[in-house]
Amino acid sequence: MSSEALASRVELATVDSTNAEAFRQAPDLRGPLWILAGEQTAGKGRRARAWASPPGNFHASLVQRITEPPARLGLRSFVAALALYDAFQALTGLGAGFALKWPNDVLLNGGKLTGILLEASGQTLVIGIGVNLIAAPPAETLEPGAVAPVSLLAETGLRITPARFLDALAPAMEDWEARLRADGFAPLREAWLSRAARLGERIIARTGTETREGIFETIDHEGNLILRMSGGAIAIPAADVFF
């Protein structure tokens, strides 16, 4: 992706969902396109959960065409997480406090700051990103054991507009995407692990059918969570992680 292509963006005052709008824009796509909305009325997170989208927070989606196997498309969650980490550090100047939670969250001071949702249809990939820039949803709206949400404003005192945040995020996304295409997942895996939350500690990985508890050992070359349990290490491709 070129920086010229990534500079393309559509800014909307309100929309049902930036991911939904991204798919509506996809048939006329001429290059990667950002959809940035001031407010979402039907934002969603992973597993179709509702995502609170008040004005002042960041709600955006990047839509692009990528001709790769589905497993490779999933690696863009690491592209997005690393880019978010870089954007936060560039805008805040903070050297500590941020960490990456598998599979695709950014934490600040241990609280959940962002959410990432990947959706694909054919060769169209949409990366939806939500950031609690000024407000976080009440903790009581979360499922038991989930990481409590935080906002950038409450944790740092910094008020950053969605447009300014996208100005920092878009080039960071381009940089990590270029590294993935040129060098494969290995450098992204190394960078992600160096920023990982609870690496080497006991965590809980919960899918729709079962719950596993063990030591977060690493992620493998496909981005799977490697959890060491009493019977040995297992690879988990998708799960919700609890601390």
Q: Is the pLDDT of residue 10 over 90?
A: yes
Q: Which two tokens stand for residue 48?
A: 């179709």
Q: Which two tokens stand for residue 16?
A: 């049902």
Q: Which amino acid is at 243?
A: F
**pLDDT tens digits, one per residue of 81-106:** 999 999 999 999 997 899 999 988 99
Sign of the CA dihedral with 210 first, then 148, 199, and 152 last? positive
What's the pLDDT tens digit per position in 129-182?
999 999 998 876 677 678 899 999 999 999 999 999 999 999 999 999 999 999
> How do residues 33-52 score in pLDDT, each as one tens digit?
999 999 988 876 555 555 56
Domains of the chain: 3-194 (3.30.930.10), 202-242 (2.30.30)
Look up residue 99 and give its two tokens.
């960490």
Q: How many CB atoms lie within 10 A of CB 230?
A: 6
As a whole number, the mean pLDDT across the chain is 91
Q: How confident is the model at residue 3 (pLDDT cuts 50, 70, 90)?
A: very low
Phi and psi angles of residue 35, each rounded to the nearest 5 degrees, phi first: -110, 115
pLDDT at site 144: 66
Rounded to an integer, the average pLDDT of 108-135 is 95
Report whether pLDDT(111) > 80.
yes
